[in-house]
Structures are given as structure tokens and as C-alpha cells.
Structure 1
């Protein structure tokens, strides 16, 4: 009888890695378990593992499960894993195969609709992953994964940045606004999906930010500003969060969602915001040599292009 874990064992030394390295297969009672692990290895990916005949048949999915049936994701067929991997999480030492942090992203059961050498069609029943999926072989050993049915998240908003209009003085109803620094930087929208962002092509240091989001999707709005000698990205709005568009939400709700992300790193931070009183903010802007402040109506949706809901007031 063929050893279904031979390839798995050949890649791992139990003396050097905390991963389970059992001597034999060990099927679960029901035989239909699955697990998805978030794997921060050389590159972030998600490992989908389906129980089949005493082992976990596995695919590495670089962008995670597709949320939209119109977009298929690459799924790299990897070696079978032991059943103990249903609950495995931890740090695989650097230099070992698959070195990096692994966490259980979701687990549950599944139903098989079809299983062949070229096509695997299943229904996942998990807390975070649910629905019908098909894994299909393309050329050679290449595989893709496709979501069947309807999309499970809002489409990414394709909008131009919202821009302030200039006013000489702060608005009279200051309690209806939040006041922020005008940074004088270059505007940048940052979409994040599958732990990656296209903005990293121009700013490679954003790869770490995108990877920190894991499977969470987002579109952030901000500016690349120079503070002292350092270039830093300051974020002040959130247009999309975890599968839901926020462009129709009031600024106060978008701002609260942004702050909950706690975006503070070596190259990025959440811009401060103060509701109600523009005086101290204008003085601080002048003291720091900034061009002015932006007044943002708390009840305003995100309106692409120039909008009177955002006001630029010179220092």
C-alpha cells in the first residue's frame, strides 16, 4: 500500500520543526474535515486542506479563496499533510521547509460533489469559508480555484480621490466637522487584497502593511508626506473594509473604522483628527510648517473629486 505521507516526511525533520510527523495516516471519524491555514512564509498564502482517505490533500492558494465567481485564483497542489494538521499552528523555524508563522484561519466540514485527478468540487461549511468551490487542473500540475454561485463581498470601489475646496476661514458650524492637518504630500489610494497591494510596485515598503492585513480586504486613502527626512504614508480615510464598501457611509463612521485598524508602523500611520475646534489645529499646523488644515463634515459620504464637504483652510 502506497505511503501517502512519504513526500511530506521527506521534507521535514521532526528534530528541527514543531510540525507533526506521524508514522501513519489517521482518519477522523467523519472523514470530511477541512482546514485553511494562513501561512506567513517566504510569501503570504493560505493552505487549503481537505481530508481524503486518511490524509489532508493540500493546495497553497496565494490570494486566498476567491470571493467573486468572475475571478479565479491560483491553487498550487502540494504534498499530502497528516490529519494532525487540522489543528496545527505555530512557528516553523527559518530555513526549514515552509519556514514562517502558521495560524488556523478556518476549519469545518465539507461535502464532496466530485473528486477526480483533474477536478475537485466541494461545499465548504466553515465559520469564515462557506459555499461551493471547484479546484480544477489547467496545464501540467497547475490548478485554479473557482467560487460557484454569487459574490460574497461588495466590489472594490473604483473612485477618484475626494478633494477639498479652499476657504479663507473655518466653517461657522465647527461642531459638524473634524479638523486634520493638510500634509502637502502626494495623494495615494491603497487597495489591499489577499495580503498584497498594487501600490507596493511604486512603494515596496508597503508590502509589509499589506501582508499584515492577512485575508482582510481594504481600500485606504492618504498621502505620502515627508516628515523631517523620512517619507511616510499618512492614512485619513477608509473606503472599503473586509468585503464592504464604505463610500456611502458618513465620514464619522469611516473614520471610526479606520482608527480600529490601528495603522501605525515605521512607514505609515493614521493621521490625527480633532472634532469641533479648529483653532488649536491651525496653530499646530503653522508651528510645524504645514500648509493648513482640512475641515471634514462628519456626516458626509465619500464624494470623488472636489467637494464642499471637505474644506482646505490655509494656516
Structure 2
């Protein structure tokens, strides 16, 4: 069969279904679409030979190996049909609601390369014994499609689940929602469902470019307090790792700001991103969320050791998509495109926002013990690799990244080590800023000692001498940790620092003192716009960002 039969049955002036498009040579995809035509059924489609080989399953697929589900082979469909979701109007072939019930990738039992797998699968299709392994949202594991022997119609096949760790008697059809839009089937019946489709992204004004292989993210400036401005938006500040996701031709890389590869460590996120249908670069924070949806940095540390926890990739920006550079578009346009891409995904979550009402959102952050909030100019461009005044961060508690330059011996019942000797870089020299022994469980002490022991050295890595109330074992300044603390002392030391966790995603050389900048004048600017009054402005040459040279006048 070819697409000629598919196209002959449809008038593309009257149906939203796709005419046909090219696929991805690196991965073989599958899709299962719930289709309420004249009779409700599930369309099971496998990418093979440049088309979607298709079967209609009246009773839907099963994960129970005892069940043999009738699968009626129908005409081939185009590859881009796997992202089709919506309502086919009355009077058209197959009129009714179509929902993407499941989707993902698949391979042959031998887990060969795509080319070798295609050959093996074609042979199975020809012989009437097609074996494959699905990796979808709802269907996983080994299956077989077997042509029914003795049937008068050679289109009749059976879909059977093989016995493996994914086999279960639970009915997967009870999960009656779209893996594409996240909508339940009943909602798709009554409205046009959003689709992850590159054709609907608003990319007007974006430049056509080759997608970069590496990328420096935009950075935010720490400020003291929130302010109210309707032209700014507020987001939750997630307590995790800043991760840039590169999605290109079905392949995914997850990298931190210092180019450390986290693809295998956060495999569920990478696997889900591989199901996207086009190339893009995503910016976000990977975190582990508790039952209330709050991110927990210590839980993220634990996830890397155990693989347990509610892992989420909270994405908040889209610098590149579908071969276009979106960085010169406004933030809200980038976020709108981003939301259409990740809507309905399991591990990738859109980081939503509110307009204005920054003080109210900050109070909620304090109430719920969050790390803080992000404030962003809704019309701002994406400035790669720079700390911008268009993105601001307001933290609930004082936090600082510090380099571990040594540790003291334990006392009493303490195991392995006593306190961590901490420093930051100033003018490319490591400067002592305090020590901490708080926040260290026995398991953390054991882990830290195992990491620090190979780094031991005879001399101090710090640029000057200082007094410590116990003998110190010095180490190479390779590990970065994060601490909370009460305040900076006049001597430049942190008062009451408490260990939060290691920051393996950070470059030690970038651990510098971070102090909030004055932003009250910017808050006044927002208030003035709201009241539509004229205020007398003074001291416009006062410098508020010495490193970048921004003055009060620059903010206006």
C-alpha cells in the first residue's frame, strides 16, 4: 500500500488531516490514536518504509499477555499523521474525534540500529510475524503482531503483549487523556485541541539559523525586594540544576552551564524529549518536586544516587526552535511557543507565570518556603551568557555558592569530618568566607569524605592565612557547595552558614560573592506607570550595577 489510497479518500480542503511529510531517520516512531468515527476504535501505527503502517483495533491495545486483540490492517498513513489530534468534520472520511492516546519510539527485539531494525521489521511484516518493543507513555515492552491464519481476510491480525516486566492485567485504556495536549477525550470532542506542531508556532521575526551545539544561558541579577509592574512577569524560582536541553534529529543532550552532561543521569527527561517532532533548545531547571509541587534540592541530590523522586524539568524559555533563533523575540512570545511544545508532557513541565503582582507572589513564596521568585521583563530579549537587568531573582533566604578548600577533623560522635572550610573567588584568588558543620547528616558526611579524600594536599589553596579552631586537612578547590546563611559580616565572612548540598553543575571558578543589588528605583518606576503621575527624578548618574556600568538613569 502507498499514500495514494490515503489521499484518494480525503479532501484536504475540508479536513485538518495532514497530506504527508518526511520522517526522522534516526528513530522509529509509533502512535496510538483513539478515533471516534462511525465505530469507536484505536488506530495503531508503526513508522516503517517511510509511512505509518496502520491497524484499527476495535477493543484497543492491552498489556495483558492473555489478551489477543483483533487488529485490522488499513491504508498507510503519512508520517506527520502521528501528531494529528482534533476533529475530522462531518462529511469527510473517518469523520469524528481523533486523540493521540499514546506515542513514542519502537525497535526490533534485537535492538538494532534504525536501518538494521527496519530491514528486520519489514521481514516480519512480510511473513505475518512482526515483533517489536514499544517505548511510549502508556504502552511499553515487547509486543507481536501476528497475521491470523485461516482467515478469509488477510487484513486481520492479532496484537499480543509478550510476558515481560511491563506486562500487567491493569487496563491501560482507563488512562483516557491525550499524551500530546493533556486533554481528556471528552474535551477534544468539544473543542479544537492544541497540537504540538511546528507549523503553528509563531516565529514571525525570528532569524533562520543552524541550531547551535553549545549555548550559554541568560543569567539573572539578584535583588533585595519585589516590586509591582504590570509589564513584568513573575515565575517560581525552582531549587535545582539549570539545564539546557538540545533536541536535534531525535537525539537529546542535557547540559549544565559548565557543559557537564546530565543526559544519562536524568534519563526520563531525555527520553521524553526524544519524542518531540522537531529540533529545539530549551532552557529550564531540573528539580525533584514534593507532593505539594515544591522543589527540594536535597531530594534532587538523593535522586542522583537512588533514582527515586518526582523528577521534573521545569522549562521557562525557548531560545531556538525549528531552525530559528528566537532570542530577539519578546519573552512572552517565546513562552507562548514553549507552552505549545511541552503541553501534556509527563516529565517536562511548563513554568507558568503571572503578570504583575510580584509582592503577592513573593509572599506566597515565603509562606510555602520556596527558594524565591524570578521577575522578568515581559518584552525582554534573550541575552546569552550575560547577567541581565531584564531578569531578576529575589530569594526568600540568603544563599551562596562556595568552594570547599578543606575540612577539620571530627569531634565526639561525629564521623569522617567536622566542618567544611569555605571560600569564594575574588580577582581570581580563593578567599576564605567561613566554615560550616551544620546541615550534614551521617550519610552526607560519608559521601563528602569519600569525595574530598582523593583531593587532599599539603598546602592551603586560599590566598591568605586565617584562623581556624581545629587542625585542617587542605584539599584542591574542585567541589562547590551551596549554603544558607544569616548575613555577611563586616570582615566578609558568612554568619551561621548551613550546608544545603553539593553543586556538581557549577564551575568552582565561578563561585563569587553574590550580593543583592538596589532595585527600589525600578519599583518606583513601575508604580509611577500604574498611577500615570510624574515624579521628579534625581541622581540619574548613580551606579547600581558597577560590574555592568548600569546607572539609575539606565533603568528609566
TM-score range, shorter chain: 0.5 to 0.7
Whole-angstrom distance in 2 between the partners of 1:46 and 1:281: 50
> Which residues of structure 1 form unaligned runs of 5+?
1-19, 22-33, 50-73, 83-90, 100-127, 129-151
- Out of 211, 227, 230, the residue aligned to residue 175 of structure 1 is 230
> Structure 1: how far apart are the matches of 2:346 and 2:372?
25
| TM-score normalised to structure 1 length | 0.53
**For residue 283 of structure 1, what is the aligned residue in structure 2?**
363
Structure with the bigger percentage of helix: 2
CA root-mean-square deviation: 3.8
User: Partner residue of 2:251?
Assistant: 196
1:236 aligns with 2:291: no
- Residue of structure 2 in register with 1:309 after alignment: 390
Distance (Å, rounded) in 1 between the aligned partners of 2:363 and 2:273: 34
How far apart are residue 35 of structure 1 and its match? 7.0
Higher RCO (CA < 8 A, seq sep 6+): 1
Secondary structure (helix, strand or coil) at the match of 2:287 reads strand
* Count, aligned residues: 199
Residue 210 (1) aligns with residue 273 (2): yes
Aligned to 1:224: 286
Match of 1:162 in 2: 218
Contact 1:233–1:268 under 8 Å retained in 2: yes
Encode CA deviations 1:9-47: one digit per residue, 9 max, x unaligned: xxxxxxxxxxx69xxxxxxxxxxxx97456415xx9774
How far apart are the structure 1 equivalents of 2:379 and 2:208? 25
Counterpart-to-counterpart distance in 2, 1:307 and 1:178: 15
Q: What TM-score results when the alignment is normalised by the length of structure 2?
A: 0.32
Contact 1:263 1:270 in 2 (8 A): yes
Instruction: Tell me which structure has the larger Cα radius of gyration.
Output: 2
**Distance in 2 of aligned mates of 1:178 and 1:153:** 28
Unpaired runs of 5+ residues, structure 2, are 3-19, 31-45, 52-113, 127-138, 147-158, 160-197, 199-206, 255-262, 291-308, 397-556
Cα distance change of structure 1 residues 45 and 168 upon mapping to structure 2, 3 Å threshold: farther
Shift of 1:165: 0.5
**Comparing 297-306 with 255-264, which one deviates more in the overlay?**
255-264
SS of the equivalent of 1:256 reads helix
Deviation at 1:171, TM superposition (A): 4.2
**Deviations for 1:213-239, whole angstroms, at most 9, x for unmatched residues?**
12x111111001121242211111111
SS at match of 2:379: coil
Higher strand share: 1
2: CA distance between counterparts of 1:235 and 1:177?
A: 18
Question: 1:59-93: per-residue Cα shift (whole Å, max 9, x none)?
Answer: xxxxxxxxxxxxxxx966846999xxxxxxxx9x9
Does the CA contact (< 8 Å) of 1:35 and 1:48 recur in 2? no
Checking the alignment, whether the CA contact within 8 Å between 1:218 and 1:241 is kept in structure 2 is: yes
Whether the 8 Å contact between 2:227 and 2:359 is mirrored in structure 1 is: no
